[in-house]
Amino acid sequence: MTAPLLELKGLAKRFGGLVAVNDLSFDVHAGEVVGLLGPNGSGKTTAMNLVSGALPLNAGEVRFQGQTISGLASHQIARLGVARTFQLVRVLGGMRCRDNVAAGLAFRPGGLHGRAAEHAAQLLLERVGLGTQAELAASELTYIDQKRLELARALALAPQLLLLDEWLAGLNPTELQQGIGLIRALQGEGMAILMVEHVMDAVHALCSRCVVMNTGAKIADGATREVLSDPRVIEAYLGSDDTQEAAHA
Amino acid sequence: MSRRECMAWGAGALALALLATVPQWMHNDYYLSLLISVLMYSVLASAWALFSGPTRYVSLATVAFFGVGAYTTAVFGETLPWAAVLLIALGVGVAMALVVGLATLRLSGVYFVIFSFGLAELTKQLVTWWEVNITKDLGRYVFVDITAQDIYWQLLVLLALVLGLRAWIARTRLGLALRVIGEDETVARHVGINTTRVKVLLFTLSASFMTVAGAMMAPRWTYLDPTIAFAPAISFQTLIMALLGGAGSLFGPLLGAVPLVLLFEFLSAHFPNHFAILVGLVFMVIVYAVPQGISGWLRQRKSKSGGTQ
C-alpha cells in the first residue's frame, strides 16, 4: 500500500475551554473520496479548517504528500495542492464570475494570468455549468450557482486534494444528481476528496470510506456501509435508548 | 496592449505635457498655489487609493508619512542637494511603512482605521517631543532654493508616476490579488495569495508617494512645526477626496481632489471662522449622497442607459 496523500495525526483544537477537535487521526489516500460525518457541532468543519490552515492547531500534525503542512500558512497549503470550498459559501461578490475563477488560477504554482487565464476560467465555468454566466458579478448568482462558482475556483488551483464542506447541501434532486456526477468525474481524474456531508444519498453514492466524528473525536472509520450501521454512529446521531427515553419523559 | 489602451496612454502623456506648460503662461501666483494644492491632494488621494482602493483598508495615516517627508526637507533641505533630500524622504517613508505594515496589517476593519489614526498622532507627538527636548526649538524654518513652479512640476511628475503605477498594477496579478483581498481575505489566502506580503508591499508603495509629496511641499511653508506638518485634516481630506471620486477607479481620486480642493479653498476664503463645521457637513453629504463615489455613480448611469437602449 502506498503512503497516504493526507495524514492527520492526533489533531487537537481548543477554543477557550471548548475542545472542538480532540485527538483526531485518519488518512486519505490518493484518488479516494472520504466522507467526514457527524452530528452538528462534532468538529467536522474545524477539522477542515485545521487541514487548510485557516485555524492553527493546538496539538498534532497534518502531513500532505509526506510533508508536514500543519503550521504553514493557508496560502502555502493552497499552493501545495489543497483546495477547499466553505460551509457558508464565499464568492468574491463584486467581481465577475470569470475573475472569481481567475483568482484561483493566478496564484498556484505555474499560475495563469491574462488571456490564458480567461480561456482556462471559461472552461472551468463550463465544467460546473456556469458557462453562460462568466460576465455576471458573482453576487448576482443564485445560492446554488455561487456554490458551483466556488467549486470552479477551487478546481482552478488544480488540487490533488479537494476539501468540500457541505457542498451538496441545499441542492434540489436534479442538481444533486449533477453534483454527484461532477464529483465522481473529479474522482475519475485521480483527485482525492474529503467531504463533510449530511446528504446521505450522496455519501452512499460517492464515498468509499467514511470517518465519523462526535464531540470532537473520531468514533468510526471504515467502509461506508459498515460505518453507517455501526451502533456507536447510530447512537451519536440519534442518541442511545436511554437518552431517547429521557427526552420523551 | 490593445489599441484603446495605447490611445489612453497617449492621451495621458499629452495631458501631462499640456499641464507641464501651465506655469510658462500663467503668471498669477494665487492660481499657481491653488494648482499646487490640487496636485498635492491628487497625489495624496491617488496614493491613498493605491492601497486602500482595492483592499478597502481605510487608512488615516496619510499625514504621518506626509509630515515625515516635510520634516525630511526641513532637516536636510539646506545642507544636501534636492535630489538627495527626496531620496532620503523616500527611504524614510519606505522604512517606516515596512515597520508599521509588518506590525499592523494583520489588523482589519475598524481596528486598522483607529490604529492608522493613532499612528499619525504618535508620529506627531514623537516629533514634538524630539523638538522640545533635543533640539529645544519647536519650529523650523525651511530655506530651500525651490520655486513654486519647481514644486508644481515635481508634483506633476509624482502624480504621473502614481497614476502610471496604479494603471500598471491593475493589469498584473498583483492587482488581481489586491481585489481578491478587498473582497474576502480568507478566500485570498485559500487561493494561494500571500496576503500579508501583498498588503505590506502596497502599503509601502502608497506611503512612499505620500512621504515624497510631503518633502516636495515643505518649501511652500517656510515655517514648519508639528501641528502644521502633521495636521490630521490632511488625512481626512485625502480620505474624503478619494471616497468622493471613487477609490476603486484610476481617475476617481482626481475627480474627488479637484472639486474639493476648490471647494475648501472657497470655504476657507469666505467662511474662515466656520471652515471646520462646513468641511464636516461636506463629509456627511458625500457619504450619504455618493457612497459609490463619482466614478461609481457615472458607471451606474452608463450601465443603466446602456441597458435601456
E strand or H helix at A148: helix A143-156
**Confidence at residue B25, expressed as pLDDT on a 0 to 100 scale:** 83
Residue A233 domain-assigned (yes or no): no
**Confidence at residue B38, expressed as pLDDT on a 0 to 100 scale:** 95
A187 reaches B (C-beta below 8 A): no
**What is the span of the domain harbouring residue A105?**
93-158
Residue A232 domain-assigned (yes or no): no
**Closest to B40 measured CA to CA, from B184, B220, B185:** B220
Is the pLDDT at A245 greater than 70? The verdict is no
| Least confident residue range of A19-28, A142-151, B23-32, B208-217 | B23-32
Distance from CA of A229 to the nearest CA of B (A): 36
Reported as a single tens digit per residue, the pLDDT across A129-149 is: 898 999 999 999 998 899 999
The segment with the largest mean pLDDT, out of A73-77, A197-201, B304-308, is A73-77
Reported as a single tens digit per residue, the pLDDT across A78-127 is: 999 999 999 888 999 989 999 999 999 999 998 888 888 999 999 999 99
Q: Give all strands (DSSP E) within chain A, no chain letters.
A: 6-15, 18-28, 33-37, 59-64, 67-68, 82-84, 161-165, 192-196, 209-214, 217-223
**Same domain, yes or no: A42 and A61:** yes
B183 reaches A (C-beta below 8 A): yes
**Confidence at residue B305, expressed as pLDDT on a 0 to 100 scale:** 65
Residue A54 domain-assigned (yes or no): yes
When pLDDT is averaged across residues B209-225 and rounded to a whole number, the result is: 93
Is the pLDDT at A4 greater than 50? The verdict is yes
**Same domain, yes or no: A151 and A55:** no
Write out chain A residues lying below 8 Å of B176, CB-based.
Answer: 99, 102-103, 106, 113
**Same domain, yes or no: A164 and A150:** no
Residue A88 domain-assigned (yes or no): no
Put simply, the answer to whether A106 touches B176 (Cβ < 8 Å) is yes
Confidence label for B1 from pLDDT (cuts 50, 70 and 90)? low
**Same domain, yes or no: A11 and A64:** yes
Grid coordinates belonging to B53:
482602493
When pLDDT is averaged across residues B65-91 and rounded to a whole number, the result is: 94
**Same domain, yes or no: A67 and A31:** yes
Comparing alpha-carbon positions, the chain A residue that sits nearest to B179 is A95
Nearest-angstrom CA–CA distance, B161 and B205: 11
**Same domain, yes or no: A45 and A150:** no
**Same domain, yes or no: A51 and A103:** no
| A contact residues 110-129, partner B, Cβ 8 Å cutoff | 111, 113
**Same domain, yes or no: A75 and A167:** yes
Final residue before a domain boundary, out of A134, A158, A182:
A158
**Same domain, yes or no: A164 and A154:** no
Residue A12 domain-assigned (yes or no): yes
Nearest-angstrom CA–CA distance, A196 and A38: 9
Average pLDDT, chain B: 89
Reported as a single tens digit per residue, the pLDDT across B137-172 is: 888 888 888 888 999 999 999 999 999 999 999 889
Beta bridge partners of A96: A137
Is the pLDDT at B176 greater than 70? The verdict is yes
Q: Is the ipTM of this complex over 0.90?
A: no
Average pLDDT, chain A: 89
Residue A201 domain-assigned (yes or no): yes
Residue A241 domain-assigned (yes or no): no
**Same domain, yes or no: A175 and A64:** yes
Give percent above pLDDT 70 in chain A.
96
**Same domain, yes or no: A127 and A12:** no
- Structural domains in chain A (count): 2
Is the pLDDT at B76 greater than 60? The verdict is yes
The CATH number assigned to the domain holding A41 equals 3.40.50.300
**Same domain, yes or no: A143 and A164:** no
Beta bridge partners of A193: A33, A162
**Confidence at residue A180, expressed as pLDDT on a 0 to 100 scale:** 92
Distance from CA of A159 to the nearest CA of B (A): 11
Is the pLDDT at A41 greater than 60? The verdict is yes
Give buried/exposed letters for B121-156 (b at 16+ CB in 10 A, else e). Answer: eebbeebeeebeeeeeeeebebebebeeeebbbbbb
